A and B are shown apart, each in its own frame.
Chain A
Amino acid sequence: GNSVTQMEGPVTLSEEAFLTINCTYTATGYPSLFWYVQYPGEGLQLLLKATKADDKGSNKGFEATYRKETTSFHLEKGSVQVSDSAVYFCALRLPSIQGAQKLVFGQGTRLTINP
């Protein structure tokens, strides 16, 4: 079946530290991959995406590269800020004949950045 596995949290870092959140997936076919972020009390927001192998998604200083050979899509940021504290979700989407996007989410990783 299709599934997404993220590194377990919570993750606590100091401001300006380097961040990596690991994400690996299992899928039939060729999925698109996404990172969503959830700030406290809010819904999920798309952070970045990649649609094919070797694509790099980037946004707000975050990056992730679609690695087909390792079935991974790790999230990285060179220097985190307190405002990056949130829950991060990795997700995959398989092509759909109907057009609806059926996303499969990882369990989420809670990130806390201390000043």
Chain B
Amino acid sequence: NAGVTQTPKFQVLKTGQSMTLQCAQDMNHNSMYWYRQDPGMGLRLIYYSASEGTTDKGEVPNGYNVSRLNKREFSLRLESAAPSQTSVYFCASSLVKAGNQPQHFGDGTRLSIL
């Protein structure tokens, strides 16, 4: 009963380094999302993928890229990490069908940029 799995759980980078955060879901969900969580600001949407083969910008996309590798996997890439990207990153997924289907979240990746 894995749900949404994120790797790694923790990472420390130096400014300018690159990194890819991985996310996979086993619930056959259509849509996937990347959020960042910062103190006092709740969760903010970085990018999302409504369905396999599509990606769109969310509220705070600058400095990030995404890839919807297949229906299960949605990765987030930092090409040149900056201290302002220090945050907790959450991946989520949801099923698109009639009615309000909830988003299911992973346990997060805590990323520190020095």
Contact = CB atoms under 8 A, between A and B. Distances in A.
A42 B104 CA distance: 12
A41 interface: yes
Nearest to B45: A102
Interface string B10-44: 00000000000000000000110100000011111
Contact of B102 (A43, A49, A89, A106): A49
Interface residues of B, number: 29
Contacts of B40: 107-108
A29 to B, nearest CB: 14
Given A43-B105, A100-B50, A105 B43 contact: yes
B102 A99 contact: no
B26 to A, nearest CB: 15
Contact of A101 (B31, B42, B43, B56): B31
A49 B100 contact: yes
B31 to A, nearest CB: 4
A103 interface: yes
A45 B105 contact: yes
A105 B42 contact: yes
Q: At the interface, is chain B mostly helix, strand, loop or mixed?
A: loop
B106 interface: yes
**Range of interface residues on A (Cβ < 8 Å):** 20 to 34
A42 B105 CA distance: 9
Contact of B42 (A89, A98, A102): A89
Nearest to A95: B100
Given A42-B107, A43-B4, A100 B48 contact: yes
Interface of B: 4, 30-31, 33, 40-45, 48-51, 54, 56, 58, 90, 92, 94, 96, 100-103, 105-108
Interface of A: 4, 32, 34, 41-46, 49, 51, 89, 93, 96, 98-103, 105-108
